[in-house]
């Protein structure tokens, strides 16, 4: 089993990812940490506990993290996820409590234990990376327990929060920049599962309606139905769930290594991930910035049908 940790701002697509990570037999879900993003932190926590309960995983520790980004207010997305983050589903809410530790402390403890045993964990941030930035700058020794970081965020070519920027990065671009810098300094491999592939892994309404027989399957069906309703479509992407698929089945994801930076200013481009696709064999003397110090595996294509089937088999 591959040890994994999810960092979430649980909206509809984070819920798709949580169900997959909690139920797949090849993953050992060590912990889930919460951060404000798609909805406020209090609602993120309730949503996360609710999804894990539906998945039959009350054993997984869940911790509260940062309520706001490092330098700006949280910007919720009720038009995408509903006011409650789960599409305003009338779903029984968990009454379970969270781990007493702050998310950063839980991450530290789990990763230091992974470093001690040698069974390193894959960290899968599916939200603004505020918690991860705080972790790597406060407790850099915890990176010894990281096998890799596979984050959902950014894009090589498009945006959604703005014309330039993807929502998770745009919500806390300083945190994303810190994580990239720290990962490069600490030698942690990073993969970006961005908007270039995010929308490709789709579940049809007919496929969703075949999911039945367990709380996990019922919730999975409801998530796809609600996403389809919100977008006026006959199906929906599993969104963040694709990043978990990429950890389970890396062969289904095509990536290329590129230097990567996050734009922190710019009137129209704040939060954009600058994927440097230039041929670096040329003379770069005219570029005052040079190559970004951190090189990231950037997702450029995905085996969408394979990942959709993987998700359907697991949550159903």
Alpha-carbon distance of 102 to 105, in angstroms, equals 5
| Secondary element (H or E) of residue 56 | none
Lowest-confidence pick of 57-66, 80-89, 132-141, 200-209: 80-89
Q: Which of the four pLDDT bands, split at 50, 70 and 90, describes residue 80?
A: confident
What tokens does 184 get? Answer: 């490069």
Buried b (16+ CB within 10 A) or exposed e, 193-217: bbbbbbbbbbbebebbeebeeeebb
pLDDT above 70 coverage of the chain, percent: 98
pLDDT at res. 287: 82
Q: What is the band of 283 on the pLDDT scale with cuts at 50, 70, 90? A: low
| This prediction's pTM | 0.96
Q: What is the DSSP code string of 223-240?
A: HHHHHHHHHTSSEEE-TT
Of 38, 34, 40, nearest to 8 by C-alpha is 34
Full DSSP string of 111-169 = HHHHHHHT--EEEEE-S-SHHHHHHHHH-GGGGGGEEEEEEE---SS--SSSSS--HHH
Give how many domains the chain has, as a whole number. Answer: 1
pLDDT in tens, 22-44: 999 999 999 999 999 999 999 99
Structure token digits, residue 234: 């006959």
pLDDT band at 230 (very low <50, low <70, confident <90, very high): confident
CATH number of the domain within which 103 lies:
3.90.245.10
Q: Mean pLDDT, the chain, as a whole number?
A: 94
By residue range, what is the domain housing residue 263? 2-315
């Amino acid at each position: 089993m591959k040890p994994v940790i999810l960092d979430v701002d649980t909206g509809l697509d984070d819920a798709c990812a949580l169900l997959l990570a909690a139920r797949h037999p090849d993953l050992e879900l060590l912990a889930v940490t919460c951060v404000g993003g798609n909805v406020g932190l209090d609602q993120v926590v309730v949503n996360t506990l609710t999804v894990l309960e539906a998945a039959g995983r009350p054993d997984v520790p869940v911790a509260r993290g940062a309520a706001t980004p490092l330098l700006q207010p949280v910007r919720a997305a009720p038009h995408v996820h509903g006011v409650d983050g789960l599409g305003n589903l009338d779903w029984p809410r968990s009454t379970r409590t969270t781990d007493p530790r702050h998310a950063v402390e839980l991450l530290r403890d789990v990763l230091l234990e992974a470093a001690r045993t040698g069974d390193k964990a894959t960290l899968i941030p599916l939200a603004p990376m505020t918690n991860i930035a705080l972790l790597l700058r406060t407790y850099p020794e915890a990176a010894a327990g990281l096998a890799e970081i596979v984050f959902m965020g950014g894009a090589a070519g498009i945006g959604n929060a703005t014309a330039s920027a993807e929502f998770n990065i745009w919500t806390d671009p300083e945190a994303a920049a810190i994580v990239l810098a720290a990962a490069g300094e600490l030698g942690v491999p990073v993969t970006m599962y961005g908007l270039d592939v995010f929308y490709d892994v789709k579940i049809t309404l007919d496929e969703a309606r075949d999911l039945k027989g367990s709380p996990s399957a019922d919730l999975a069906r409801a998530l796809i139905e609600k996403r389809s309703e919100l977008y006026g479509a006959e199906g929906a992407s599993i969104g963040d769930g694709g990043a978990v698929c990429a950890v389970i089945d890396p062969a289904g994801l095509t990536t290329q290594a590129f230097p990567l930076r996050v734009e922190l200013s710019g009137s129209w481009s704040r939060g954009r991930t600058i994927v440097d696709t230039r041929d670096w064999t040329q003379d770069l003397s005219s570029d005052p910035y040079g190559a970004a110090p951190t090189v990231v595996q950037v997702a450029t294509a995905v085996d969408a049908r394979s990942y959709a089937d993987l998700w359907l088999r697991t949550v159903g």
